[in-house]
Structure 1
Amino acid sequence: MKKKKLILDVDTGVDDAQAIMMALAAPNVEILAITCSHGNATLDNVCKNTLRVLKTCNRLDIPVYRGCSEPVLGRKLNSGDFHGKDGLGDAPDPDAPGLELLQKRRAAKAIIKIVNQNPGEVTLVATAPLTNLAVAAQLNPSFCKNLKALYIMGGNSESRGNITVCGEFNFVADPEAAFIVLDRYTCPTYIATWEFTCKNILPWSFCDTWLAQDTEKARFMEKIYSYTRKMVQTERFQKELVSGPGFNSCDTYAVAAAIDDTLVTESVEVAVTVELEGAHARGMMVLDYMDLLKKKHKVFIMKSIDQEKFKQLLMNALK
């Protein structure tokens, strides 16, 4: 079986770690590179966290690239300490690999080179602010045509926010980058929005079973997830999840969809853009159901998934 070639663009907090581990465990996937962006933590911490996840999975052979440390316009958004100050639950590892293991080439240039060397074969999965992807498009506009597909965790479809009134974190962290990517990337594009992840959450009982696996990976995940889990299980946060309380591993949805073409059972195809102005709406994804934007390129907004397949991918990630 020919393996799917993936590049993962991440801002490694806990859910990115979950997504990376899911991709690493998939037998039909070859990860060509992991590129790091500002977002859940400082860029240095994101790079360290990514290397730490790879070490846990014995996959430090995968090249990791340092990307952008701030948004296109430099209006940096403070992500707070949702995943802890370091992005991995403030559960340090004294033996964690160092930044000397990073590749010398920068993320945007690495994306361009790898995609152009494998025309029509590489799927790019972005679970971070889209700065690296936007810079790549600006450096080499034609490379986008060589992508097989693009999967994004970000944006929103019903104007529900998780960082501002009606903005999702990854898009609000760099609205200009999100605008550029949704405008210039014309390959098949699939988006797992904030509302989509909320409506496809899993019960906490599954999370308990998932973390109870007797493996080093499961113990690592339980350790780094403890801080965030306590926070998200509060009544205030659970009310934000649209469809009631549950376990929401946001970034894994985009990776799961890239791994398994049959995972998404319902989607809608529509042209989209990003609002760049407004006191409340900056960074909000706009869905053009009336075709007023006259955009030829439309994206697939995920609606529902096969939850049993999703659960199995999560379970496999920690085996």
Structure 2
Amino acid sequence: MVTPLILDCDPGHDDALAILLAVADPAVDLLAVTTVAGNQTVDKCTVNARRVLSLAGVSEVPVARGADRPLVRRLRIADDVHGTTGLDGPAFTGEPSVPESPHSAHELLVDVLRSRPATIVATGALTNVARLLAEEPSLARNITEIVWMGGSTDRGNIAPLAEANACVDPEAADLVVRSGVPFTMCGLNVTHQALVTDDVLARLERIGTPLARVCGEWMTFFASTYRDLFGFEAPPLHDPVAVARVIDPAIVHCVEANLVIETKGEWTAGATVVDLDGYTGRPPNARIALTLDREAFWNRVVTAITALG
């Protein structure tokens, strides 16, 4: 059964491969790509989404520009991780061939969800999704599920307890989690199991296509920043994990738990407070990803890149 999917993202090296996986895997039907500020400005993220689809030879998926800042906070971008373009590594010249939609991300989300139910995979700050739920609450019934790459059950990557997508717009994440729409969190605790190790780079190289070569160059740049900033020997490919959860839930094992987003803490804003052991007595309100079938995950990613030629 094919799952209709909207990808809300901020490309971003890992978002780029999430787009490719969503485009090529037969288990999902990618209806739209919407962008949000986060890894870079929304202008650069929108160009990057268009570029990824252009490289993949995909022209029928609309790309719409979304929020250029969080709901109430000042934007903080991750140029230290993703570079000045948001997709540093291979050099590109000129405009991508895939155009930007004349509609805003909000308009595109409304149009798609009015026409059919769909799953939203969000791999950036939840600003666009929060605005959709706040301004068009009746459309919540047509969101089958929101699967978010964000948060963590333990430490963060932009603050001691906050992951970047949560920390950029914690108010948006709080609104979305409290909306009642089925919600799955794929946090750092699971995405750090999706490391781009040497064997993965070798598999990309063996594909031998121009697209695979670009993916390898993206991952090589991504590896350099993760090594310099965090001391990782191999970078974690965060965002495709959320797409993989939709493709085959068996790839990403989840448990039910209560999730609260911290918005007020002086030192903890953006923390995703996951009650795995029932300390609070609050009922479960989210699926929380805990473990990844690494072999199955990389098989889907490599197969998708291969299929795009």
TM-score by length of 1: 0.89
Give the distance between the partners of 1:73 and 1:114, measured in 2 at CA: 27
TM-score norm. by structure 2 comes to 0.92
Q: Is residue 88–residue 225 contact of structure 1 (8 Å, CA) maintained in 2?
A: no
Structure 1 unaligned blocks of 5 or more = 239-244
Asked whether the 8 Å contact 1:267–1:301 carries over to 2, the reply is yes
Which piece of structure 1 moves more, 217-226 or 39-48? 217-226
* Paired position in structure 1 for 2:91: 92
Does 2:225 match 1:231? yes
Question: Does residue 304 of the first structure (1) align with residue 298 of the second (2)?
Answer: no
The whole-number CA distance in structure 2 between the counterparts of 1:211 and 1:262 is 27
Pick the aligned partner of 2:110 from 109, 112, 124.
Answer: 112
Give the conservation status (yes or no) of the 8 Å contact 1:179–1:274: yes
Gaps of 5+ in 2: none
Deviation at 1:78, TM superposition (A): 3.2
In structure 1, the partner of 2:176 is 181
- The letter of the residue matching 1:134 is A
Q: Which amino acid aligns with 1:155?
A: G
Q: Deviation per CA, 1:251-296: give whole Å up to 9, x if none.
A: 01001111113212x322012111112222100011234374745x
Q: Are 2:120 and 1:134 aligned?
A: no
1:81 counterpart SS class:
helix
CA RMSD of aligned residues (A): 2.0
Contact kept, 8 Å, 1:12 with 1:49, in 2: the verdict is: yes
CA contact (8 A) 1:211 1:221 kept: no
Give the whole-Å Cα distance in 1 for the aligned partners of 2:32 and 2:110. 12
Closer/same/farther in 2, CA of residues 248 and 260 from structure 1, 3 Å limit: same
When residues 77 and 293 of structure 1 are mapped into structure 2, their CA distance, relative to the original with a 3 A threshold, is farther
1:144 matched residue in structure 2: 140
Aligned partners of 1:81 and 1:87 also within 8 Å: no
Please give the secondary structure, in 2, of the residue aligned with 1:190. Answer: strand
- How far apart are residue 174 of structure 1 and its match? 0.5
Find out whether 1:262 has 2:258 as its counterpart. Answer: no
Query: Do residues 163 (structure 1) and 165 (structure 2) align?
Result: no
> Bigger CA drift: 33-42 or 275-284?
275-284
How many residues are treated as equivalent by the alignment?
305
Tell me how far apart the structure 2 counterparts of residues 90 and 315 of structure 1 sit (CA, whole Å). 20
Change (3 A) 1:291 1:147: farther
Match of 1:316 in 2: 303
Matching residue's letter, 2:164: F
Q: Which 4+ residue blocks in structure 1 deviate beyond 6 angstroms?
A: none
Q: Does the 8 A contact of 1:51 with 1:60 survive in 2? A: no
5 Å-filtered alignment, 1:203-222, equals 203-222=197-216
Question: Paired residue for 1:275?
Answer: 262
Structure 2 match to 1:7 = 6
Q: Determine the C-alpha separation between the residues in 2 that align with 1:293 and 1:49.
A: 43
Distance 1:263 1:236, change over 3 A: closer
3-state secondary structure, aligned to 2:54: helix
Provide closer, same or farther for how the CA distance between residues 48 and 15 of structure 1 changes in structure 2, counting only shifts above 3 A: same
